[in-house]
Protein backbone atom coordinates (compact mmCIF):
# COMPACT_ATOMS: atom_id res chain seq x y z
CA UNK A 1 0.00 0.00 0.00
CA UNK A 2 1.32 3.42 -0.91
CA UNK A 3 0.43 6.40 1.21
CA UNK A 4 1.26 9.86 0.08
CA UNK A 5 0.44 12.62 2.54
CA UNK A 6 -0.49 15.90 0.83
CA UNK A 7 2.46 18.15 -0.03
CA UNK A 8 0.54 21.12 1.31
CA UNK A 9 -2.56 21.62 3.40
CA UNK A 10 -3.94 19.41 6.13
CA UNK A 11 -5.54 16.01 6.18
CA UNK A 12 -7.52 13.63 8.36
CA UNK A 13 -6.41 10.21 9.63
CA UNK A 14 -8.57 7.75 11.56
CA UNK A 15 -7.28 4.90 13.72
CA UNK A 16 -10.15 2.63 14.75
CA UNK A 17 -10.87 -0.88 15.96
CA UNK A 18 -12.20 -2.70 19.02
CA UNK A 19 -10.99 -2.27 22.58
CA UNK A 20 -7.50 -3.63 23.29
CA UNK A 21 -6.40 -3.17 19.67
CA UNK A 22 -3.75 -0.58 20.52
CA UNK A 23 -5.51 2.52 19.20
CA UNK A 24 -4.23 4.85 21.90
CA UNK A 25 -0.71 3.45 21.58
CA UNK A 26 -0.83 4.08 17.84
CA UNK A 27 -2.13 7.60 18.40
CA UNK A 28 0.67 8.34 20.86
CA UNK A 29 3.26 6.80 18.53
CA UNK A 30 2.20 9.08 15.67
CA UNK A 31 2.14 12.19 17.85
CA UNK A 32 5.55 11.46 19.37
CA UNK A 33 7.07 11.08 15.92
CA UNK A 34 5.60 14.45 14.93
CA UNK A 35 7.03 16.00 18.11
CA UNK A 36 10.45 14.59 17.28
CA UNK A 37 10.13 16.24 13.87
CA UNK A 38 9.67 19.56 15.66
CA UNK A 39 5.97 19.92 14.97
CA UNK A 40 3.55 21.51 17.41
CA UNK A 41 1.35 18.74 18.70
CA UNK A 42 -1.76 18.67 20.88
CA UNK A 43 -3.86 15.75 22.05
CA UNK A 44 -7.50 15.98 23.11
CA UNK A 45 -9.73 13.53 24.90
CA UNK A 46 -13.39 13.68 25.85
CA UNK A 47 -14.10 14.95 29.33
CA UNK A 48 -16.26 11.86 29.90
CA UNK A 49 -13.34 9.44 30.02
CA UNK A 50 -11.91 9.72 33.50
CA UNK A 51 -10.34 6.29 33.77
CA UNK A 52 -6.71 6.12 34.92
CA UNK A 53 -5.88 9.80 34.80
CA UNK A 54 -7.68 13.05 34.13
CA UNK A 55 -4.92 14.74 32.15
CA UNK A 56 -3.35 11.80 30.32
CA UNK A 57 -4.31 9.49 27.54
CA UNK A 58 -3.19 6.10 28.76
CA UNK A 59 -3.26 2.97 26.67
CA UNK A 60 -4.07 -0.40 28.20
CA UNK A 61 -0.39 -1.22 27.78
CA UNK A 62 0.50 1.75 29.99
CA UNK A 63 1.89 4.12 27.34
CA UNK A 64 0.90 7.66 28.25
CA UNK A 65 0.83 11.17 26.90
CA UNK A 66 -0.71 14.29 28.39
CA UNK A 67 -4.04 15.23 26.87
CA UNK A 68 -6.44 18.13 27.17
CA UNK A 69 -9.95 17.09 28.25
CA UNK A 70 -12.54 18.89 26.10
CA UNK A 71 -16.30 18.87 25.67
CA UNK A 72 -16.60 19.12 21.92
CA UNK A 73 -16.45 21.23 18.79
CA UNK A 74 -15.89 24.73 20.16
CA UNK A 75 -13.18 23.77 22.63
CA UNK A 76 -11.34 21.57 20.13
CA UNK A 77 -11.23 24.30 17.49
CA UNK A 78 -10.26 27.03 19.96
CA UNK A 79 -7.49 25.08 21.67
CA UNK A 80 -6.08 23.49 18.52
CA UNK A 81 -5.15 26.86 17.07
CA UNK A 82 -1.46 27.19 16.06
CA UNK A 83 -0.81 23.45 16.27
CA UNK A 84 0.47 21.43 13.32
CA UNK A 85 -0.84 18.07 14.48
CA UNK A 86 -4.08 17.57 16.41
CA UNK A 87 -4.97 14.23 18.00
CA UNK A 88 -8.48 13.39 19.23
CA UNK A 89 -8.58 10.20 21.28
CA UNK A 90 -11.71 8.19 22.17
CA UNK A 91 -13.45 10.19 19.46
CA UNK A 92 -16.53 7.93 19.57
CA UNK A 93 -17.58 9.62 22.82
CA UNK A 94 -17.98 13.04 21.21
CA UNK A 95 -21.14 14.43 19.65
CA UNK A 96 -21.45 14.41 15.88
CA UNK A 97 -20.23 18.01 15.70
CA UNK A 98 -16.66 16.83 16.40
CA UNK A 99 -16.59 15.90 12.71
CA UNK A 100 -16.87 19.59 11.84
CA UNK A 101 -14.00 20.40 14.17
CA UNK A 102 -11.81 17.76 12.49
CA UNK A 103 -12.71 18.98 9.01
CA UNK A 104 -12.25 22.65 9.90
CA UNK A 105 -8.80 21.98 11.32
CA UNK A 106 -7.76 19.80 8.38
CA UNK A 107 -9.08 22.40 5.94
CA UNK A 108 -7.06 24.96 7.85
CA UNK A 109 -3.84 23.03 7.28
CA UNK A 110 -3.53 20.76 10.31
CA UNK A 111 -2.85 17.05 10.30
CA UNK A 112 -5.76 15.67 12.32
CA UNK A 113 -5.63 12.19 13.83
CA UNK A 114 -8.79 10.71 15.33
CA UNK A 115 -8.77 7.40 17.18
CA UNK A 116 -11.66 5.47 18.64
CA UNK A 117 -14.04 2.54 18.54
CA UNK A 118 -15.62 2.01 15.13
CA UNK A 119 -18.38 -0.18 16.61
CA UNK A 120 -20.19 -0.16 19.93
CA UNK A 121 -20.74 -3.33 21.98
CA UNK A 122 -23.69 -4.23 19.73
CA UNK A 123 -21.38 -3.99 16.68
CA UNK A 124 -23.25 -0.90 15.47
CA UNK A 125 -21.30 2.06 14.02
CA UNK A 126 -20.29 4.24 16.96
CA UNK A 127 -21.26 7.94 17.12
CA UNK A 128 -19.29 10.25 14.81
CA UNK A 129 -16.76 7.58 13.76
CA UNK A 130 -18.55 6.40 10.58
CA UNK A 131 -18.57 9.91 9.14
CA UNK A 132 -14.95 10.47 10.13
CA UNK A 133 -14.03 7.26 8.31
CA UNK A 134 -15.81 8.45 5.20
CA UNK A 135 -14.17 11.87 5.34
CA UNK A 136 -10.62 10.75 6.12
CA UNK A 137 -7.67 10.58 3.75
CA UNK A 138 -6.16 7.68 5.70
CA UNK A 139 -7.88 4.95 7.70
CA UNK A 140 -6.43 2.18 9.82
CA UNK A 141 -8.60 -0.51 11.33
CA UNK A 142 -6.61 -2.24 14.05
CA UNK A 143 -7.30 -5.74 15.32
CA UNK A 144 -7.08 -7.10 18.84
CA UNK A 145 -6.75 -10.73 19.91
CA UNK A 146 -10.05 -12.56 20.43
CA UNK A 147 -10.47 -13.30 24.12
CA UNK A 148 -12.23 -16.58 23.27
CA UNK A 149 -10.38 -18.17 20.36
CA UNK A 150 -7.17 -16.19 19.96
CA UNK A 151 -8.05 -15.16 16.42
CA UNK A 152 -8.04 -11.59 15.14
CA UNK A 153 -10.69 -9.61 17.01
CA UNK A 154 -12.68 -6.81 15.40
CA UNK A 155 -15.51 -6.37 17.92
CA UNK A 156 -15.94 -5.36 21.54
CA UNK A 157 -17.94 -7.64 23.83
CA UNK A 158 -19.52 -6.04 26.87
CA UNK A 159 -20.08 -8.38 29.79
CA UNK A 160 -22.24 -7.86 32.84
CA UNK A 161 -21.54 -10.42 35.55
CA UNK A 162 -19.72 -12.49 32.94
CA UNK A 163 -22.66 -12.60 30.51
CA UNK A 164 -23.29 -10.64 27.30
CA UNK A 165 -24.76 -7.24 28.15
CA UNK A 166 -28.38 -6.71 27.13
CA UNK A 167 -28.74 -5.12 23.70
CA UNK A 168 -30.76 -2.26 25.14
CA UNK A 169 -28.04 -1.18 27.58
CA UNK A 170 -26.49 2.30 27.48
CA UNK A 171 -23.98 2.68 24.68
CA UNK A 172 -21.48 4.56 26.77
CA UNK A 173 -20.21 3.04 30.00
CA UNK A 174 -16.57 3.82 30.61
CA UNK A 175 -15.20 0.75 32.29
CA UNK A 176 -12.30 -1.46 33.22
CA UNK A 177 -10.90 -4.62 31.66
CA UNK A 178 -13.21 -7.09 33.38
CA UNK A 179 -16.28 -5.58 31.74
CA UNK A 180 -15.09 -5.80 28.14
CA UNK A 181 -13.42 -8.32 25.87
CA UNK A 182 -12.17 -8.12 22.33
CA UNK A 183 -13.88 -10.79 20.22
CA UNK A 184 -13.87 -11.96 16.63
CA UNK A 185 -17.09 -11.89 14.61
CA UNK A 186 -17.71 -15.57 15.29
CA UNK A 187 -17.22 -15.33 19.06
CA UNK A 188 -19.11 -12.07 19.58
CA UNK A 189 -22.35 -12.78 21.45
CA UNK A 190 -25.34 -10.51 20.93
CA UNK A 191 -26.97 -9.60 24.22
CA UNK A 192 -30.54 -10.43 25.12
CA UNK A 193 -33.00 -8.46 23.00
CA UNK A 194 -30.74 -8.25 19.94
CA UNK A 195 -33.12 -10.11 17.61
CA UNK A 196 -36.11 -7.98 18.53
CA UNK A 197 -34.11 -4.77 18.23
CA UNK A 198 -32.69 -5.71 14.83
CA UNK A 199 -36.07 -6.70 13.37
ZN1 LIG B 1 -12.97 -15.62 18.40
Q: Where are the domains of the chain?
A: 11-140, 152-198
Query: pLDDT (tens digit, 9 = 90+) per residue, 98-152?
Result: 999 999 999 999 999 999 999 999 999 999 999 999 999 999 999 999 999 999 9
Q: How far is the CA of 64 from the centre of ligand 1 (A)?
A: 29
Tell me the pLDDT band of 194, cut-offs 50, 70 and 90.
Answer: confident
Percent of the chain with pLDDT over 90: 71
The total of other beta-carbon atoms located within 10 Å of residue 78's CB is: 10
Exactly one of 90, 131, 181, 189 is catalytic; name it.
90
Superfamily of domain 11-140: P-loop containing nucleotide triphosphate hydrolases (3.40.50.300)
The total of other beta-carbon atoms located within 10 Å of residue 83's CB is: 18
CATH number for the domain running over 152-198: 3.30.60.20
- pLDDT at residue number 137: 96
198 backbone φψ class: left, alpha, beta (φ>0; ψ -120 to 50): alpha
Tell me the pLDDT band of 177, cut-offs 50, 70 and 90.
Answer: very low
What lies within 8 Å, CB to CB, of 60 at 6+ separation is 19, 20, 24, 177
* C-alpha to C-alpha distance for 52 and 33, rounded to whole angstroms: 24
Reply yes or no on whether 90 is catalytic. Answer: yes
Amino acid sequence: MIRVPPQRGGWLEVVCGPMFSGKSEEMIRRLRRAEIAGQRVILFKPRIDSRYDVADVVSHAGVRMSAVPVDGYAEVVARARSHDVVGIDEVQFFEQEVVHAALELADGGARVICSGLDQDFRRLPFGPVPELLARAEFVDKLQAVCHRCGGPATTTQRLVDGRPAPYSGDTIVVGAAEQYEARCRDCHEPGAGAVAAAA
